[in-house]
Amino acid sequence: MTSSFLIAFNKTRGLKVAEKIVKADTWESRSRGLLGRKALSPDEGMWIIPCAMIHMFFMNFAIDAVFLDRQNRVVRIFRSLKPWRATPWVWGAYSVLELAAGAADQISKGDALEFKP
């Protein structure tokens, strides 16, 4: 997991999604995910690569899960995914952007996201 944050933009709508995105791209960082966190602020998130399904076991709060293909286009969104739930396998997904519940309200299926340092 990198120590510097990324900024996530919705290129389709010209909006900033969140500015404190942590990239989880190692086995360890992907496995840990957001476990142990008490909450996410609206400007925080985690981008898990690769990932085509998630679970919310042992989580303390709900999140929005935005699944992206290899070109960072939104293929599916799970809004306010509650603790102790799991998503199905999302066909075509290559990564997932986990955001605070409600933070994905201005993201729709088909939107293109972009991540910058």
Domain that holds residue 21: 6-116
**pLDDT tens, per residue, the chain with 117 residues:** 445 899 999 999 999 999 999 999 999 999 999 998 999 999 999 999 999 999 999 999 999 999 999 999 999 999 999 999 999 999 999 999 999 999 999 999 999 999 999
Say if 69 falls within a structural domain. Answer: yes
Say if 1 falls within a structural domain. Answer: no
- pLDDT confidence of residue 24: 96
Three-state secondary structure readout of the chain: CCCCCEEEEECCCCEEEEEEEEEECCHHHHHHCCCCCCCCCCCEEEEECCCCCCECCCCCCCEEEEEECCCCEEEEEEEEECCCCECCCCCCCCEEEEEECCCCCCCCCCCEEEEEC
The C-alpha atoms of residue 113 and residue 8 are separated, in whole angstroms, by 7
Q: What is the pTM of this model?
A: 0.95
C-alpha distances in Å from residue 60, one per residue of 15, 29, 40, 84, 94:
28, 18, 10, 9, 25
In the chain, the number of structural domains is: 1
Sheet holding 15-24, edge to edge: 74-81, 63-68, 95-100, 44-48, 15-24, 6-10, 113-116
Under 8 Å between Cβ of 54 and 48 = yes
CATH number at residue 33: 2.60.120.1140
